Amino acid sequence: MEEKNPRDREVFVILNPNAAKGKAAGRRSSIESYFSNAGYRCELVLTTEPREAIVLAAQATKDGRRLIVAAGGDGTFNEVVDGVMRAVEELELSAGDAPVVGLIPIGRGNDFAFSAGISKRIETACGRIVNGKLRKIDVGKVYGGEFPEGRHFVNGVGMGFEPLVNFQAMDFKRISGMPSYVVALIKILCHYPAPYNVTMTTDSGMEQLATQQISICNGRRMGSAFLMGPDAILDDGLLDIVYAACPIKGRELIPIALRFFKGGQVHHPYFKVQRTLNITLDAPQGNMPVHADGEVISRSCGHIRVELTPGVLTMVL
């Protein structure tokens, strides 16, 4: 049941000035002006290094902040959610005591915003935070790689082809947004990975795979353009697992890759879809590239475990 957003008239904004290749820094005054004109006391802090938003969001939660907003891209939002959830778990906060989280999408991909229906226009996004309703969404947690203790995510985890494209797009210095992912896609297609030998275990059982792509989706879109989980829903209590169940040969790469733009891979005979709360991937060669919400989990690992907690994060949408 959706409820009215509580009007405590205070908002704590964590802004990543490096989002969208540095363009986000120029959005600060617009954000502060909007909340001030709406009668809110706005405290805005800028991040200065990777993963700092995790620390800031965790501390804001411990300080009793009621409304914490991420201003940036998917990585910034991921860090804010991760920080909030770490503090919530550490303090064992009830749903009523945990903060409400908001998003102003001013980043490169803005994939979660797409799934959540949040506008990229600053005024519209801020207006949703001031006037929107509360919605409880599911949050996932991935264990493995650089995060054996776990990293929370809200949009999705990818293994194989998908993170390789994302990592390539991250490395571009001047290209941003959808063009960066399209150029990255072309580059990866020129050096397409061999199949990864993976044991996938879900609530439905175990499957041995030789696969180049596994998408673990809470949201629908990845990489600013690719509908990796076209039917995924943020609050249905399940992860959509969309994966290539057999190797994809060279001559088939481009036609199948083009299907990702509209989510048509789910109808291709090479692909399967499962829905689950939990999933583990094991690769004996230890060579899996993995991302979560576009953030690097590992460029090469042998094991990850993913679990979903339904309805644990309250957002204003």
The whole-number pLDDT of residue 178 equals 63
Specify whether 173 is located in the same domain as 211.
yes
Residue type, 239: L
Smallest CA-to-CA distance from 292 within 156, 160, 161, 103 is with 156
Which percentage of the chain shows pLDDT scores above 90? 76
Please state which of the ranges 27-41, 67-81, 194-208, 251-265 shows the lowest mean pLDDT.
251-265
Backbone angles phi, psi at 102, to 5 degrees: -130, 170
- Choose the final residue of a domain: 84, 105, 131: 131
Q: Which conformational region is residue 258 in: left (phi greater than 0), alpha (psi within -120 to 50 degrees), or beta?
A: alpha
152 pLDDT higher than 60:
yes
The whole-number pLDDT of residue 30 equals 96
- Choose the final residue of a domain: 110, 131, 152: 131
CA–CA separation, 224 vs 209, rounded Å? 27
Structural domain includes residue 316:
no
CATH number at residue 200: 2.60.200.40
Structural domain includes residue 238:
yes
How many domains, in total, are found in the chain? 2
- Choose the final residue of a domain: 81, 107, 131: 131
Specify whether 149 is located in the same domain as 119.
no
What does the angle CA 143 – CA 245 – CA 167 come to, to the nearest 5 degrees? 50
SS3 category, 203: coil
Tokens linked to 112: 């979660």
CATH number at residue 77: 3.40.50.10330
Please list, in sequence order, all residues whose beta carbon lies within 8 angstroms of the beta carbon of residue 22, skipping any fewer than 6 positions away: none
Please state which of the ranges 4-18, 60-74, 84-98, 275-289 shows the lowest mean pLDDT.
4-18
Specify whether 119 is located in the same domain as 147.
no
89 sits in which H/E element: helix 74-91
The pLDDT mean for the chain works out to 91
Please list, in sequence order, all residues whose beta carbon lies within 8 angstroms of the beta carbon of residue 255, skipping any fewer than 6 positions away: none
Structural domain includes residue 138:
no
* Tens digit of each residue's pLDDT (9 = 90 or more) over 184-197: 667 766 777 789 99
**5 pLDDT band (50/70/90 cuts)?**
very low
* Tens digit of each residue's pLDDT (9 = 90 or more) over 200-218: 999 999 999 999 999 999 9
**7 pLDDT band (50/70/90 cuts)?**
very low
Specify whether 291 is located in the same domain as 155.
yes
Quote the pTM value: 0.91
Specify whether 117 is located in the same domain as 176.
no
Structural domain includes residue 50:
yes
Specify whether 95 is located in the same domain as 175.
no
* Tens digit of each residue's pLDDT (9 = 90 or more) over 205-254: 999 999 999 999 999 999 888 899 999 999 999 999 999 999 998 788 88
* Tens digit of each residue's pLDDT (9 = 90 or more) over 256-289: 988 999 999 999 999 999 999 999 999 999 999 9
Which has more pLDDT, 28 or 182? 28
Give the residue numbers spanning the domain of 58: 3-131
**2 pLDDT band (50/70/90 cuts)?**
very low
Burial 36-53 (b: 16+ CB within 10 A, else e): eebebebebebbeeeebb
